[in-house]
Amino acid sequence: WGILFSHPRDFTPVCTTELGRAAKLAPEFRKRNVKMIALSIDSVQDHLSWSKDINAYNGDQPEEKLPFPIIADANRELA
């Protein structure tokens, strides 16, 4: 099974809270063998910075790593 989170832009408030909650639930999805991945039109560098915000929102250390990858889709070919 898989879950794809598609977001219009990094650093948007609703997207940050959604991915923050998904990050908190990642261990439960992992138990069920569900692969998680996100997609956004911004660059990988933006995703790394945004990951810090998402982790900080969760009350965690502001690291550049989430429990799932975020795909950069700058040309909007995947979306």
Instruction: Give the residue numbers spanning the domain of 49.
Output: 2-72
CA distance 31 to 44: 28
Position 43 in a domain: yes
Position 77 in a domain: no
Position 21 in a domain: yes
What pairs with residue 39 in β-bridges?
A: 6, 71
Q: pTM for the whole thing? A: 0.86
Position 78 in a domain: no
Position 65 in a domain: yes
**Total domains present in the chain:** 1
pLDDT of residue 74: 86
CA distance 76 to 62: 28
CATH classification of the domain holding 20:
3.40.30.10
Position 39 in a domain: yes
The pLDDT profile of the chain, 79 residues, written as one tens digit per residue, is 898 988 888 988 889 999 999 999 999 999 999 999 999 999 999 999 999 999 999 999 999 999 999 999 988 888 7
